Structure 1
């Protein structure tokens, strides 16, 4: 009798698997992360969630980032025709031209971080941005790395208490990934221009 009652209990619970009629099917397993991405699926979710806080404060975050950049690398000011005369922190903070450029740069980073969901777009977009910097007089690819620390400091200020050690580690990995991709785009453009120049020289000789 005890065995029969046991079987009855299993039937009422929907069998040994614990499933009942009408239960929803198991959701499909998430797609494996793209091997080109240096983040786990959880880390990617974390940065995209926290980035929403940044995207609501693009301009102040970008201005803070550039003020920090010029504090550490004042020589880079000469690259910016519109605001290269802004020598003090106060002048830079209140400059509409700097705010406009800072917002453009933050928009590029915004596209890059949103592109973590589609790495084909991520690589293509940032490579194009890197290529355009090859055409900026006086710009060297090493300059991309100089934005890393100011970017992290600006994100930390904007996110406040939400900027935990774990979030910091994810942002460090992500900004390095973005900068490396920008540099790859710069180098491809550099190579293309030099090859075109070499080919043009041969045509002239011929």
Structure 2
């Protein structure tokens, strides 16, 4: 997994936040907390490719995005359709809408953005449960097989728009977090079985 992340440019994947937020241990570095086994575990990547610190940092950053998840999801899809107009034609509920204002207020887009954000939230909230996340993302991939013209690589088309939406909405999700999450989603959804 680490080699895949390096290929994507994520060799510093998942932030360098080193301070604990625990009031009883304020000022101590995360790696100084707990026994030696916990120290070792905090730096050792789990099956999901993240160590304890990185998973914690990802969940904390994600909370900011989820404060207005629907608006974020809509912004992400608006940007996706600007760069990949052909993907919009796959959605029956808004394939023929050309106006940004109409598209932004379209109930079908809002519904789909909500579904996507809920799936991402489930994956991030349970990032420590590798099997749950893998099954969730495989199920998501399998649910898209039924759409004519859909290819697994379509999932990766959201990477740029996702990162742009992070910037535009001012949410503090680190680029490495987003890249890691999107790459994992692509790995599992590309092979839905």
- For Structure 1 versus Structure 2, the TM-score category normalised by the shorter chain is 0.7 to 0.9
Q: Does 1:60 find its partner at 2:67?
A: no
Q: Runs of 5+ in structure 1 lacking a partner? A: 1-25, 189-206
Is the 8 Å Cα contact of residues 57 and 158 (structure 1) preserved in structure 2?
no
Map 1:140-151 to 2 at 5 A.
Answer: 140-151=151-162
1:121 maps to: 132
Aligned partner of residue 149 in structure 2, secondary structure:
coil
1:17 maps to: none
**Which of the numbers 172, 183, 187 marks the counterpart of 1:176?**
183
**Which of the numbers 135, 156, 161 marks the counterpart of 2:167?**
156
Deviations 1:119-143 (A, max 9, x none): 1101011111111111122211111
Is the 8 Å Cα contact of residues 156 and 182 (structure 2) preserved in structure 1?
no
Deviation at 1:68, TM superposition (A): 0.3
Larger Cα-atom Rg: 1
Deviation at 1:152, TM superposition (A): 1.5
Deviation at 1:88, TM superposition (A): 2.4
Q: Distance in 1 between matches of 2:103 and 2:130?
A: 35
Q: What stretches of structure 1 move > 3 A for 4+ residues in a row?
A: 26-29
1:111 maps to: 122
Deviation at 1:77, TM superposition (A): 1.4
Is the 8 Å Cα contact of residues 76 and 161 (structure 2) preserved in structure 1?
yes
Q: Distance in 1 between matches of 2:167 and 2:49?
A: 21
**Which of the numbers 97, 108, 112 marks the counterpart of 2:108?**
97
Map 1:67-78 to 2 at 5 A.
Answer: 67-78=78-89
Number of aligned positions between the proteins: 157
2:47 maps to: 36
Aligned partner of residue 47 in structure 2, secondary structure:
coil
**Which of the numbers 67, 85, 90 marks the counterpart of 1:79?**
90
Bigger proportion of residues as helix: 1
Aligned partner of residue 139 in structure 1, secondary structure:
coil
Q: Distance in 1 between matches of 2:153 and 2:176?
A: 22
Worse overlay, 45-54 or 35-44? 35-44
Q: Distance in 1 between matches of 2:72 and 2:120?
A: 12
Deviation at 1:65, TM superposition (A): 0.4
Deviations 1:127-164 (A, max 9, x none): 1111111112221111111111111112233344x35x
